[in-house]
Amino acid sequence: MKTENTNIKIKECTICVMVANGEFAEYHKNNEYKKYNEEQTAELFHLEPLHYGSELEGANLSETFNTYNWSAPFTFCGAYSGDFYDTTPSVVNIHLGGDVRGNYSKPYICNDVEALFSQTAYATFVLSNGDEFTIDSDNSEAYFDLILDPYYIDFDENITKEQYKELKDKCVYA
């Protein structure tokens, strides 16, 4: 069954991820992933370099994790108390690219481990007719349950009536 076009195109599509303190960082824009280096990623998640073991005084590092295991946009490996809301320091390493079994940064102290685990993503679509829609990923994987894939947009093609209806039904009109 062929779906009619709407004569509306996507002008821009941006995916942002919630990082530390409820702030947002651009993760993907117009079919391109934004690359962050180690220092930029540490800044986004308010990580501090681990200089001395004494900085971990009082930390109960009873659980380990790797956010790659649930396809999080930013990958961290570390140890924490097992409680997302515990404010005692955790120790993390930032994945720097390539195979996730290696290539990690030096250790950092993290005081907001919840930010590492949640990483909620939001996709914003700006259309040629002036409409703007936003949807959250409702998971920590930056996956969006849409016919229209925000990671691979053909900016030269019109969206279908079905895609436009889905944006109106599932997204928040901005």
Tens of pLDDT along the chain (174 residues)?
Answer: 455 667 999 999 999 999 999 999 999 999 999 999 999 999 999 999 999 888 888 888 999 999 988 889 999 999 999 888 877 899 999 999 888 788 999 999 999 999 999 899 999 999 999 999 999 997 888 999 999 999 999 999 999 999 999 999 998 876
| The model's pTM | 0.89
Q: Structurally, how many domains does the chain consist of?
A: 1
Residue 6 belongs to some domain of the structure? no
Helix ranges (H only) for 79-152 are 113-118
Q: Is residue 99 part of a domain?
A: yes
Q: Is residue 62 part of a domain?
A: yes
Q: Give the Cα separation of 84 and 9 in Å (integer).
A: 41
With respect to residue 91, please indicate whether it lies within any of the assigned structural domains.
yes
- Give the SS3 label for residue 47: coil
Residue 82, domain member (yes or no): yes
87 belongs to a structural domain: yes
- Is 95 inside any structural domain? yes
* 78 contacts 90 by C-beta, under 8 angstroms: yes
Q: Which segments of the chain are extended strands (E)?
A: 5-18, 24-29, 32-33, 48-49, 63-66, 76-80, 90-94, 108-110, 121-127, 132-136, 158-160, 172-173
Q: Strand, helix or coil at 57?
A: coil
Q: Are 68 and 117 in contact (CB under 8 A)?
A: no
Domain hosting residue 103, numbered range: 46-117
106 within domain boundaries = yes
